[in-house]
């Protein structure tokens, strides 16, 4: 079975791991690289076992983190790093043969993430189709458009939080205000 090495142990990694593992009889092997464990040789050892490397770190630290890893020609790199172009990722991860940009969503935890990715690759499909499906745009600029659209979700959540706060300010118990707004926009 395929083994995944996830670099960065934040929100999106947690969602992917939960979606891959929860209620799954025979989940794939997953190797995590939390920052606290980032002694270079130990990290390299953990990722040695993986044929697929998922980059789930923020753009501002990505180059520094990736520079400490050693990629092999047989590695497939799936990058979730927002906005990082393929050409840059390929240069950073050489000699890895294949690099795919992906936009997984937190809904991956419930296997409801429609994950935009480019270019198309069977390894990326194997990971993300069970987590809610994939959408593959025709080119990289179109993937960037998906990325921009995805970013509006944070503003949407802020909007809902503002409404719930307003409701709570009008005498509704805060948990009940949250529950009502969740129901209203569900």
Is 6 among the residues that bind ligand NAP (CB under 6 A)?
A: no
- The footprint of ligand NAP on residues 127-156 (CB under 6 A) is none
Cβ closest to ligand NAP, residue 35 vs residue 110: 35
- Can residue 9 be called a binding residue for ligand NAP (CB under 6 A)? yes
Considering only 75-83, 137-145, 165-173, 177-185, which stretch makes contact with ligand NAP by CB under 6 A?
Answer: 75-83
Pick from 176, 159, 156: which is nearest to 168 by CA?
Answer: 176
Phi then psi dihedrals of residue 98, to 5 deg:
-135, 135
Among 3, 10, 86, 119, binds ligand NAP (CB under 6 A): 10
Exposed, middle or buried: residue 113 (CB in 10 Å: 0-12, 13-18, 19+)?
buried
Binding region for ligand NAP (CB under 6 A) out of 45-53, 91-99, 104-112, 168-176: 104-112
Shortest distance, position 182 Cβ to ligand NAP, whole Å:
18
What is residue 5's three-state secondary structure?
strand
Interaction residues for ligand NAP, span 76-95 (CB under 6 A): 80-82
Q: What's 93's DSSP letter?
A: H
Verify binding: residue 32, ligand NAP, rule CB under 6 A.
no
From CA 52, how far away is CA 38, in angstroms rounded? 19
Site size for ligand NAP (CB under 6 A): 21
Quick one: 147 exposed, middle or buried, by C-beta within 10 A (0-12, 13-18, 19+)? middle
List binders of ligand NAP among 49-68 (CB under 6 A): 56-59, 61, 65
> Residue 170: CB partners within 8 Å, gap ≥ 6?
none
**What residue ranges bind ligand NAP (CB under 6 A)?**
8-13, 35, 38, 56-59, 61, 65, 80-82, 103-106
């Amino acid at each position: 079975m395929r083994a995944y090495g996830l670099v960065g142990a934040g929100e999106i990694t947690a969602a992917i791991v939960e979606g891959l593992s929860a209620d799954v009889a025979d989940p794939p092997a997953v190797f995590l690289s939390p920052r606290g464990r980032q002694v270079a040789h130990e990290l390299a050892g953990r990722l040695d076992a993986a044929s697929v490397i998922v980059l789930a770190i923020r753009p501002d630290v990505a180059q520094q983190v990736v520079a400490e890893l050693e990629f092999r020609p047989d590695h497939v790199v799936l990058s979730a790093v927002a906005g990082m172009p393929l050409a840059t990722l390929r240069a950073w991860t050489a000699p890895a043969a294949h690099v795919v940009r992906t936009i997984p969503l937190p809904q991956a935890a419930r296997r409801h993430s429609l994950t935009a990715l480019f270019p198309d690759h069977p390894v990326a499909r194997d990971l993300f189709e069970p987590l809610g499906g994939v959408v593959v745009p025709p080119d990289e600029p179109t993937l960037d458009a998906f990325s921009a659209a995805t970013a509006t979700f944070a503003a949407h959540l802020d909007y809902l939080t503002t409404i719930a706060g307003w409701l709570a300010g009008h005498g509704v118990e805060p948990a009940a205000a949250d529950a009502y707004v969740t129901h209203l926009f569900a």
